[in-house]
Chain A
Amino acid sequence: MLPKAQQTLSPMTAVQVPAHVVFRAFAAETIVLNLQTGTYHGLNPTAGRMLQTLQQHEVIADAASAIAALYGQDQELVQSDLLTLCSGLVERGLLAVKPDA
């Protein structure tokens, strides 16, 4: 895992939900708990769906493709939104960048 300061996200960045983060999706909100800080976070249903997709497709571009196909949306727009979401989650320690293999 890279230090946050070195993490510049691109569509080809692979990310993962760290072991210290748990989440559960509900109809109105996805609840995320950072076990290291004890802080709870709420994601709207779209962001929650994105987080779930990132668990299945670690590369952001792949996750964007899957979400775009699922919802019939423009892939570039979805990718842009996903990069913004990932940045916010990484900043809060809720998502981690995987080092290059």
Chain B
Amino acid sequence: MHAALGLGLQLHFALPGIPRRRRPPGAPTIDIRAVSSPQLLERWSGPSGHPLWQTTFEGGARYVVQPGHDGDHLIEYAGRPAFHLSADGLNLSCADPLTQPASWQRTLSDSVLWTVALLHGAVLLHASAVEGPDGAVAIVAAQGSGKSSLAAQLALDGWPLVTDDILAVERRGEQIVAHPGPNLMNISQDPGIQVTPEALGEVLATFDNHSSREAWVLVRRFSEGDLPLAAVVLLKRGGNGPASVSRLPATTLDVTPYSLAFRRMPGAQRRRFEAISDLVERVPVFCVEAGVDVPPAELGAILQTKLQKSV
């Protein structure tokens, strides 16, 4: 059994970065199969209403999640029907995976998996996370603020990767549990980035986007299962000041901007409000402020010191 983002995953074709892990208690198991494009369309019941969500990735590929008449979902990627999720949410069909480029695999292990998790009611943070001494440390930040670089630095310092971009969280009793994601990272190759991808693992591909160059890395050291969420770190980069870390008297509003929800899904907003409120009541939230010139290694050292004292 494979697992990621709180889902059990039964894979019927090779997909890098989805480790074998124990399925979280009560989690659904998603059967992931390869089909031909005509077979995929045979399973689709036809569009019902507006797309649930749509975006254009940095590389230019369009991503559309369309609900179907029968409660199933079709995901269009780069202008073609690429994935189909059955009405019960347990069967994910993938069109022609063997002929697809690495960017398609990256989309499946990232956006498609978290789309499926959201459709199953998961609560997701747009966060990188690593495994510290007391549990997962989630790093949230505005796009391009260096959360992956900081997570990569902490991983190089010996804290295993929990997830690169999306973290699934769940309240179990009085604890907030973090469900690890794929053991994959996108590491910027832009000038000034001081993390060497090869130091973290195997570079599977390199992607050139309009504004940046990224290495897609299969990370060697990663979390093997669920773990308590020990801290949330809001990373704020700007100006040229030194790095500082402080604990926030946080509320729901501090973390909600870094969470994901399909707003058109019934109950999604209420579920997110309750879950994020539960999280900030139980997990310390820190703010790390640093000028843009402060290197990830310095940020990582300051953060490790603070967390070891405070958590």
Q: Taking beta carbons and an 8 Å cutoff, which residues of A are in contact with B?
A: 22, 24, 26-29, 31, 33, 35, 38, 40, 42
Cβ contacts under 8 Å, A26 to chain B: 249-252, 280-281
Q: How far is the CB of A66 from chain B (nearest CB, A)?
A: 24
**Bound-state Cα–Cα, A20 to B196, Å:** 49
**Bound-state Cα–Cα, A31 to B252, Å:** 7
Interface of B is mostly: helix
A38-B263, A38-B269 known; A22 vs B251 contact (CB < 8 Å): no
Contact A22 B280 (CB under 8 A): no
Contact B274 A22 (CB under 8 A): yes
**Bound-state Cα–Cα, A35 to B274, Å:** 12
Contact B269 A29 (CB under 8 A): no
Cβ contacts under 8 Å, A31 to chain B: 251-253, 277
**Bound-state Cα–Cα, A33 to B251, Å:** 13
**Bound-state Cα–Cα, A31 to B263, Å:** 19
**Bound-state Cα–Cα, A38 to B253, Å:** 13
Contact B277 A24 (CB under 8 A): yes
New contact pairs (9) apart from A31-B277, A35-B270, CB-CB < 8 Å: A22-B274, A24-B274, A24-B281, A26-B280, A28-B249, A29-B251, A31-B252, A31-B253, A40-B252
Q: Taking beta carbons and an 8 Å cutoff, which residues of B are in contact with A?
A: 249-253, 256, 263, 269-270, 273-274, 277, 280-281
Cβ contacts under 8 Å, B253 to chain A: 29, 31, 40, 42
Cβ contacts under 8 Å, B250 to chain A: 26
Q: How far is the CB of B9 from chain A (nearest CB, A)?
A: 32
Q: How far is the CB of B257 from chain A (nearest CB, A)?
A: 10
Q: How far is the CB of B138 from chain A (nearest CB, A)?
A: 19
**Bound-state Cα–Cα, A38 to B249, Å:** 23
Cβ contacts under 8 Å, B252 to chain A: 24, 26, 31, 33, 40
Complex A-B: 17 CB contacts under 8 Å: A22-B274, A24-B251, A24-B273, A26-B251, A26-B252, A26-B281, A27-B249, A28-B251, A29-B253, A31-B252, A33-B252, A33-B269, A33-B273, A35-B269, A38-B269, A40-B252, A40-B253
Smallest CB-CB separation from A42: which chain B residue? B253
Question: Which 3 pairs show the lowest CB-CB distances between chains A and B?
Answer: A24-B277, A31-B252, A26-B251
Q: How far is the CB of A30 from chain B (nearest CB, A)?
A: 8
**Bound-state Cα–Cα, A22 to B252, Å:** 12
Cβ contacts under 8 Å, B273 to chain A: 22, 24, 33
Cβ contacts under 8 Å, A33 to chain B: 252, 269, 273
Q: How far is the CB of A13 from chain B (nearest CB, A)?
A: 27
